[in-house]
Structure 1
């Protein structure tokens, strides 16, 4: 039966209430101090996004995307939600679709791991497979049209779905939590880029609040963001998927806003994995591969600050738990099969532990 305008509006009101209630229950995520060797007068903090209900930074993105679509009138009581994702975004969107009682379909490569498929299905989602990862975007849009659904399109809407001026976005949360620290205004915030939404939010926020904080994006191998930023172009592609789950893209995504980024760093995948394991030992909690990329970037800017005689604070993100990667990044056989040689990067980190000097240029690294 067709629903009246009043019935649809009442449904949207209730759906928004449920999504907002999730934010209230989740409260905020923790900010951990990561002890550094050598007492450089610089503190490193990791904002732990793994404590969200769906276990990753993408929980924030999914919540924002649902609120944005609901308030734009794109989602109603009979809408099927479709997304192009084989990762944490699909897991989080499946959760929110279930929260408001809607079906969810994730379009993903056929090669997606069984564990990730199982997690999406556990939250009530359905997986739709393509043979070529490059076909995910078009197939998701086509599937949404065929079923009268809504293609959430995280890669387009991530940078605009979140209110970058405030409303408890991740940037506002970081600065509030830093307020009683020795250096309350971070010198740097280091993040990775998957959609580009997080770096856009933080970069806009620090400008809006007139903070001197600089934003670095640490980018893994095979990702188009670094080269596109250096070349100042939005159409650069690599044709290669990232091995660091959750960050890096083979094309420049529409949500990537290069103008609010102060610096970028290409991080080798082996460095990401080595730094992930180093960070796990330092923090006493397991972290994922994208956190390793972030930490390698953070240690790079900390060394620059130390060499310049600067003190201050650096904040980066603990994007998700390492528990999801026991059979990949934490499995030495898998790492070897990928052709990743961790030894040179582990040597850099061991030397850092011993001397307090982070020198990735030594030994050819």
Structure 2
């Protein structure tokens, strides 16, 4: 269930004799919008980091470091856009809670903006969400509402909004439309601006991962709008239906189990995932993603989350293809959030054992590739 113009979660359309221009509400609205816009004005751009590759390859690899946002992830941009969208549509009201279905990072960022404008926030999330993400949501003043089955998050969030009189933000529907994909300092425009002085300023590929699908939609639309030759690839984790839906063209594709890679992968085709806009998809083994994110620490000296590892594995595979074909150019992927949120998961050998994930073959393969340029024979990436 999603909040739409005629659903019980949206405000009813006013009749002609109803005055909705209450002065106190309009003043509150103006102040709330000002506070959200001021947050953007205080924020500097995020860094574009180089992933060192052998110079003679003639290929440059970059990571757009979204972990430096004040709430620590790529989702800070989305949460800001969703709050402005909800406020300007009249859906977010003083004193009423904002409710979101989220596996973590979006909820952390939305809790921040809810606190900023003074409304309650409730995150509906799987019980398996990392303890650190729950702590961060609560640190921002939000509440965590758990479900045992991740596929029930949407329904529970919608029902909770009805019961509390709040607004179900519904990132999975509104992510692709709340962001201005034509520019206005979105992530795509930022990437191209930061590449202007590099030797390959127009990347051959940008590799993203998909939770809502909003980021890949923004990147792809911007590339088409600006008439760039860049291709967009989406790397999907194991327990997700996006890859199957994209390859088969089925909008009703589903997956029976939840993703082990928090923040990406979905059990259904989300409304904000725009398959027609992207050029390629990969199905990346979860063990490969964990191996990649651990290898990343050895290159840049920092930990990152599993979604970063999924995208990085896909980006390195594309680098290998370019190298084998004798092509030069640049590839960009995303550093989505910091690894300290996942010390009990992707950086825990005990958790890997519980999940039955053996990352050793992928770790050796990455070491071989970065040393010799030979892509691993163990690769089970599908595309």
The two structures have a TM-score, normalised by structure 1, of 0.96
| Match of residue 283 from structure 1 | 300
One of 343, 361, 365 as aligned partner of 2:377: 361
d(CA) in 2 for partners of 1:61, 1:24: 15
How far apart are 1:364 and its partner, in Å?
7.5
Counterparts of residues 95-114 of structure 1 (less than 5 Å): 95-114=112-131
Counterparts of residues 60-139 of structure 1 (less than 5 Å): 60-139=77-156
1:344 alignment partner, SS class? helix
Whether the 8 Å contact between 2:183 and 2:222 is mirrored in structure 1 is yes
d(CA) in 1 for partners of 2:198, 2:127: 47
| Match of residue 308 from structure 1 | 325
The verdict on how the C-alpha distance between 1:38 and 1:178 changes in structure 2, with shifts beyond 3 A counting, is: closer
Whether the 8 Å contact between 1:61 and 1:89 is mirrored in structure 2 is yes
1:345 alignment partner, SS class? helix
Q: How many residues align?
A: 363
The two structures have a TM-score, normalised by structure 2, of 0.92
1:58 aligns with 2:75: yes
One of 249, 261, 274 as aligned partner of 1:257: 274
| Match of residue 34 from structure 1 | 51
| Match of residue 323 from structure 1 | 340
| Match of residue 14 from structure 1 | 31
d(CA) in 2 for partners of 1:329, 1:78: 38
1:202 aligns with 2:219: yes
One of 361, 370, 373 as aligned partner of 1:344: 361
d(CA) in 2 for partners of 1:187, 1:217: 14
| Match of residue 297 from structure 1 | 314
Q: Deviations over 1:152-199 (max 9, x none)?
A: 000000000101001111001101111111010111000000000000
Unaligned runs of 5+ in 2: 1-18
d(CA) in 1 for partners of 2:344, 2:60: 32
Q: Deviations over 1:310-364 (max 9, x none)?
A: 111101000011111111111112111110011111111111132122x133587
Which moves more between the two structures, 347-356 or 203-212?
347-356
Whether the 8 Å contact between 1:239 and 1:251 is mirrored in structure 2 is no
Unaligned runs of 5+ in 1: none
The verdict on how the C-alpha distance between 1:345 and 1:237 changes in structure 2, with shifts beyond 3 A counting, is: same
d(CA) in 2 for partners of 1:143, 1:80: 10
The verdict on how the C-alpha distance between 1:285 and 1:78 changes in structure 2, with shifts beyond 3 A counting, is: same
1:39 alignment partner, SS class? helix
One of 53, 61, 64 as aligned partner of 1:44: 61
